[in-house]
Amino acid sequence: MNTHLQHQINHWLNKDPDPKTRAQLQALIDSNNETELAARFAGRLAFGTAGLRGEVGVGPMAMNRLVIRQTTAGLGAYLLEQINNAAERGVVIGYDGRHDSYDFAHDAASVLTAMGINVYLTHKVAATPLVAFGVKHLNAAAGIVVTASHNPPQYNGYKVYWENGAQIIPPHDSGIAAQITSAATQAIPFLALDVAIAQQKLNWLQDDFYQAYRQGIFDAKELQYRNGQDKVSLAYTAMHGVGADMAETVLKDAGFTQVYSVAAQREPDGDFPTVNFPNPEEKGAMDLVIAEAKKHKATLACANDPDADRFAVAVRTADGEYKMLTGDQVGVLLGHYLLSHAPKNQQLNGTTIVSSSLLSKIASEFGAQSYTTLTGFKWLMNVGISQHQQDNQFLFAYEEALGYTIGNLVWDKDGLSAIVAFAQLTAELAANGQTIWDRLEQIYRQHGFHLNAQVSIALKPDTPNIGEFLRENPPLTIGEFAVVSSDDLKSLQRTCADGSKHSIDLPSSDVLIYALANGARVIVRPSGTEPKIKCYYEIVETMTNTDTWASAQERAEQAMAAFISSHQASLPN
């Protein structure tokens, strides 16, 4: 073993507070597994706008107690540097039900209190939206939630909220990362929690905090439309996560008494034993909740992901089966519903560049202002906050990956308020003798049948850089349709078919967007480091008077298949 690696390992062993990971590291040393040791000390788990996310294990490339302590020391130093009264305002900390989350959260609390920073620590597991809520509710300087959301069991994560209640964006990510690098070379301050309590630095967030969030949902002006609840029943799964208690409670508060939880998935379990992948979007993940819905002939089969910031739903069809709605369909339905009830001074809504364009068309129908951001709720919420004004208040935002924000109770995606809103929409329709499918068809008939698809294309190692190729050879047509405009988010410039150019008000990103004459759209996200691109497609088919849902969908799917095929054929191989 080389001297540098040996030094890194010894340094780590001397600092690691966890007997479990020290034993794992010692086992690698004893077996002389230099390849694995080198990989585990090849760098450091990168801290970015999503915080940290990685597999739990030994060394600086994994999630473990020493990495958490170093990260927290870096975050604490950055807060003290950036926010004058950060120590007094404090940091809210919550955690999910994964095996290491409790220890990680408590370690973070010990580090911050040792730095003189007040900490508000949840006394039990908490859904991610509660931490985002807590930052606003307690006027804290920041928030930390220990969660890996819907990642597999071997993962954990560390997400940071800024003082505005939204996820961090640049430059805070790089600023915190620099402080973490510095903290990793120093002794980490640490205060036992009982001492922190005695020094009045640690405040436990007891049940009254959870009740404050519950009351916030009950009082939310966007969630006051309560009629027809007796006509709606729903099955629910927390997917072995932390959402069940609060989801069942807020649904009951809203008048929904026919709620049937999947018992096998109700309690937190970091092993996620009944699903291959605890993500409602994954094939098979909704099987148990759909089976529960069938047993009760429920209207809806609903799911939160394990940290309850995402919401998924399957809706009963006329033949008694259940069909999943896409994230775009849920977003469009919720947007339409909320806009139909919203006062004129609260209609601001947003979505991301890769989500359906349909919400903006619906918003125009209501005379509402829409905004579009890069992918991710960090962008959706920070832009929403910046545009939120007394005469143009924020109403709703969503992204296609099952994330929805309703009102300003939480400046992040919230699967708990989303489930209430969707149940209320379903109830309102039922009271008028209609279904979710009826409403979606009405929207499609008015604005066109919108079909969206996403394709990841693995290219050959010798394939030219796709981004460079497309910028040097801009397409004039894709398939049989002319390109109306091309957006290059790297140069932040839109080029129209007539040659005119316009600036784009977004952060720079390696993304290309093509709008076509038939209302279709292609978004290309090239990779500069591997031969792979991700493409997002949208097709819009006009629904005629003679069209049924099935005929319009079949035509859209045929058009989509041809569209994807022609686009991929135009790329270098």
| pTM of the predicted structure, to 2 decimals | 0.95
pLDDT at residue 569 is higher than 90? no
The end-to-end CA distance of the chain, in Å, is 42
Q: Averaged over 467-492, what is the pLDDT?
A: 91
Per-residue pLDDT band for 529 (boundaries 50, 70, 90) equals: low
Q: Averaged over 472-485, what is the pLDDT?
A: 91
Q: Averaged over 362-381, what is the pLDDT?
A: 96
Per-residue pLDDT band for 533 (boundaries 50, 70, 90) equals: confident
**How do residues 486-497 score in pLDDT, each as one tens digit?**
999 999 999 999
**Sign, CA torsion 358/360/363/367:** negative
Structure tokens at 428: 């309102």
pLDDT at residue 460 is higher than 80? no
The per-residue pLDDT for 572 is 80
Q: Averaged over 353-362, what is the pLDDT?
A: 96
Q: Averaged over 68-86, what is the pLDDT?
A: 98
pLDDT at residue 531 is higher than 80? no
Q: Kindly state the percentage of the chain with pLDDT values over 90.
A: 91
The per-residue pLDDT for 459 is 73
| Separation CA 1–CA 3 (nearest Å) | 7
**How do residues 322-355 score in pLDDT, each as one tens digit?**
999 999 999 999 999 999 999 999 999 999 999 9
3-class state of residue 343 by DSSP: coil
Residue 128: which residues within 8 A CB-CB, separation 6 or more? 94, 96, 145, 147, 149, 159, 307, 308, 309, 412
Contact of 336 with 395, CB cutoff 8 Å:
no
| Separation CA 250–CA 212 (nearest Å) | 12
pLDDT at residue 117 is higher than 90? yes
Per-residue pLDDT band for 573 (boundaries 50, 70, 90) equals: confident
**Residue carrying the six token digits 């708990």:** 416
Q: Averaged over 357-378, what is the pLDDT?
A: 96
| Separation CA 453–CA 571 (nearest Å) | 18
The per-residue pLDDT for 413 is 98
Q: What is the mean pLDDT of the chain?
A: 95
3-class state of residue 378 by DSSP: helix
Please indicate whether residue 568 or residue 89 has the higher confidence score (pLDDT): 89
| Separation CA 116–CA 94 (nearest Å) | 19
What dihedral do alpha carbons 89, 91, 92, 94 form, nearest 10°? -170
Strands (E), 331-462: 348-352, 370-373, 394-399, 403-406, 449-458
The per-residue pLDDT for 240 is 98
Phi, psi values for residue 237, rounded to 5°: -135, 140
**Exposure class string for 16-54: b at 16+ Cβ within 10 A, else e:** bbbeebbebbeebeeeeeeeebeebbeebbebebbbbbb
| Separation CA 106–CA 193 (nearest Å) | 8
Burial of 104 (0-12, 13-18, 19+ CB in 10 A): buried
What dihedral do alpha carbons 341, 343, 344, 349 form, nearest 10°? -60
Neighbours of 393 (CB within 10 A): 18
The per-residue pLDDT for 467 is 84
Q: Of the ranges 30-39, 480-489, 504-513, 564-573, which one carries the lowest mean pLDDT score?
A: 564-573
- Say what angle helices 415-431 and 327-341 make with each other, to 10 degrees: 70
**How do residues 378-408 score in pLDDT, each as one tens digit?**
999 999 999 999 999 999 999 999 999 999 9
Which one, of 466, 570, 470, lies nearest residue 528 by Cα?
A: 466
Please indicate whether residue 1 or residue 553 has the higher confidence score (pLDDT): 553
Active centre residues (catalytic): 149
Which one, of 138, 121, 133, lies nearest residue 166 by Cα?
A: 133
**How do residues 260-299 score in pLDDT, each as one tens digit?**
999 999 999 999 999 999 999 999 999 999 999 999 999 9
The per-residue pLDDT for 466 is 81
Q: Of the ranges 36-50, 215-229, 441-455, 460-474, which one carries the lowest mean pLDDT score?
A: 460-474
